[in-house]
Amino acid sequence: MASVLFIYPPLSFEERGALSAYAPPLGILYLASVLQGAGHRVQVVDAEAERLSLRELGERIRREKPDVVGLTCLTLTLESCKRIVKEVRRRSGAYVVVGGPHISVSPPEYLKEIGADAYVVGEAEEEIVRIVEERPSGIIRAREPQDMDSLPLPARELVEHVEYGQFYGMKMTGKITGILTSRGCRYGCTYCNRPKKLGFRSRSPRQIVEELKLLDREGFDSIWIADDNFTNDPRRVIKLAELIRREGLKFHFFGQARVDTPSRALYRAMREMGVLALSYGVESVVPEVVRWYAKTPHPERWPHYVKRSMDLCREYGIIFLGSLIFGAPMETKEDMVRSIEFLEKGGADFINGNILLYMVGSAIWNWAVREGRLRPDQFVATAPELGLTPYSKEELQELCDRCADFSKREGWKSSFRKILQRRELGLIWMGLRRYVGDYLKIRRVRREIYGYGYGKRYTAGR
Ligand code: B12
Ligand code: SF4
């Protein structure tokens, strides 16, 4: 039996972000569960949510003396990952393996710089036991599990000491955990670096409901749906909603959706199953920009989809959080303002403005490298840094701030109206309690709360 310590690294050890303790790291909880099933001893440290300093993390590694340390690496946590690997080397003789979204998209020749023993490309459930038992070195390509129902449930008990559902250190929900109802995505947005080859794989509604029943017994009342895109297949959602209703399960769900599935049947089903808030990648409402992002084969219909989704959210009392991206090469300031005004006037509750990032693995990053705008070892850069928009970071940031101001002015009011419309007393009470309870904190971090967009986070020194 090996002892394995999984670590979820923070964006930064020095500074904590908006989403620090928002949702548990399901990827490593799935791997932990597979390893437990094979008789290994597993622990998980969510260094982001537990707000550990590098020194505290080092102490923990020294105390636990794990045989194997496993890290999840995102592109924006790459630097933290490297620092953790050094710390592991300093404090123990553990074998170190790194996986996660960055490892899956990074050019392989740069992986060695991380300093680990092995790197896993892809979803690792079918490889992790062999890795822990045989400790191979180098790059390992894992085969994506296809039968989602055959996976064990994530080992959530390993992070039960962490209170998730926080936004800037404020608890925004009831007892929350994450769930995956599907993996992968059918689309290929050009700024996104989810590998398209992953394909869309979904769990059966019956099995998801069995997991929800367990979570209900464990006292969870809020669920973050961590799917890339929950509404990918509306028929699946409608079926799931029907089962949830039949079982009498009562949760509040949060998740990510696309605007181009705006059917009434889908929204009615989501409302019935308890979906409370959805975050949408709107990005822009200007067809040329939407085309450049390859959001849809029908860019001219995109504004209609956006409007219809906002209308349906209003009708069914679902909070609409619309994300916009600023800085596509052909995008003018008028275009950007048009997108903001479209959401402001059309019924969005919150708007999250982001400066366009060129991130390794995305089609626009590949293009910028080919054009000689980026070095292949430059894994992330903002559009203004690359001179790929006529506007400066400050100009784009002003637009992000405008979104933040709208959210600050309107978001709480309109969300509360939706909560009232749902006529759920428990929810109204929770909303009031959270808001009143955290009022002073909210005042203190107001600006950051609404301005947590990607570009800003990246430009804030990382
Ligand atoms: C839920 C989620 C969040 C949640 C919760 C984060 C969390 N604690 O997991 C919140 C909202 C807080 C969040 C925040 C951010 N997120 Co996020 N998030 C996701 C999302 C939608 C699901 C994650 C998940 O559960 N996946 C399912 C599991 C099964 O997959 P997995 O995590 O990749 O794990 C598998 C493999 O990668 C591998 N693996 C993972 N770790 C390890 C470790 C070892 C040792 C091994 C061997 C293998 C291995 O095996 C796992 C099991 O199959 C993903 C998109 C996605 N679908 O993955 C984006 C995603 C991971 N997020 C992303 C980003 C950019 C962020 C932010 C940086 C955004 C920001 N600017 O603030 C922050 C980072 C905060 C932080 N420090 O984590 C990007 C990362 C891109 C990249 N290349 O790095 C993704 C891929 C979204 C995207 N399309 O671009 N996120
Ligand atoms: S941005 Fe969302 S919809 Fe587009 S490819 Fe990425 S995960 Fe899929």
Q: How far apart are CA 238 and CA 270, in angstroms?
A: 7
Q: Does domain 165-460 have CATH number 3.40.50.300?
A: no
Q: CA-to-CA distance for 320 and 434, rounded, in angstroms?
A: 19
Looking at per-residue confidence, does 22 or 313 come out higher? 313
Q: Is the pLDDT of residue 197 over 70?
A: no
At 440-450, the pLDDT tens digits run 566 665 555 55
Nearest atom in ligand 1 to the alpha carbon of residue 46 is 8
Distance 261 CA to ligand 2 centre (A): 14
Handedness of CA 161, 166, 169, 174 (dihedral sign): negative
Rounded to the nearest integer, the mean pLDDT of the chain is 91
Cα distance between residue 391 and residue 398, in whole Å? 11
**Helix/strand/coil for 81:** helix
Using a 6 Å cutoff on CB, does residue 199 contact ligand 2?
no
DSSP letter assigned to residue 228: S
Q: Residue 259 CA: which ligand is closest?
A: 2
Give the count of alpha carbons within 13 A of 39, CB side only. Answer: 3
Establish whether residue 193 lines the binding site of ligand 1, counting it when its CB lies within 6 angstroms of any ligand atom.
yes
Say if ligand 1 is within 6 A of residue 102 CB.
yes
Mean pLDDT, residues 84-104 = 97
Model confidence pLDDT, tens digit, residues 420-456: 888 887 777 777 766 665 555 666 655 555 555 544 5
Q: Is 344 in the pocket of ligand 2 (CB under 6 A)?
A: no
Lowest mean pLDDT across 91-105, 169-183, 226-240, 356-370: 169-183
pLDDT digits (tens, 9 = 90+) for 377-415: 999 999 999 999 999 999 999 999 999 889 888 888 898
Task: Verify whether ligand 1 is closer than 6 Å to residue 159 (CB atom).
Answer: no
Q: Does domain 3-145 have CATH number 3.40.50.1470?
A: no
Q: Would the CB of 23 count as within 6 Å of ligand 1?
A: yes
Atom of ligand 2 nearest to the CA of 194: 6
Ligand 2 close to Cβ of residue 227 (< 6 A): no
The residue written with tokens 């007393």 in the block is 425
- Tell me the C-alpha distance between 289 and 298, whole Å: 12
Distance 361 CA to ligand 1 centre (A): 14
Phi first, then psi, for residue 41 (nearest 5°) are: -95, 125
Range list for CATH 3.40.50.280 in the chain: 3-145
Shortest-distance atom of ligand 1 to CA 10: 77
User: Model-level pTM?
Assistant: 0.94
Give the residue among 331, 323, 329, 394 at the shortest CA–CA distance from 368.
329
Distance of CA 174 to the CA centre of its chain: 19
Distance 20 CA to ligand 2 centre (A): 22
34 CA distance to ligand 1 centroid (A)? 19
The closest-lying atom of ligand 1 relative to the alpha carbon of residue 70 is 45
| Ligand with smallest separation from the Cα of 25 | 1
Which residues make up the CATH 3.80.30.20 domain(s) of the chain?
165-460
Å from CA of 80 to ligand 1 middle: 15
Determine if residue 373 is left, alpha or beta; phi over 0 gives left, psi from -120 to 50 gives alpha, anything else beta. alpha
Asked whether the beta carbons of 309 and 280 are under 8 A apart, the reply is yes
Of the candidates 4, 64, 7, 73, the one whose C-alpha atom is nearest the C-alpha of residue 35 is 4
Reduced to 3 states, what is the DSSP secondary structure of residue 73? Answer: coil
Residue 349 in contact with ligand 1 by CB distance below 6 A? no
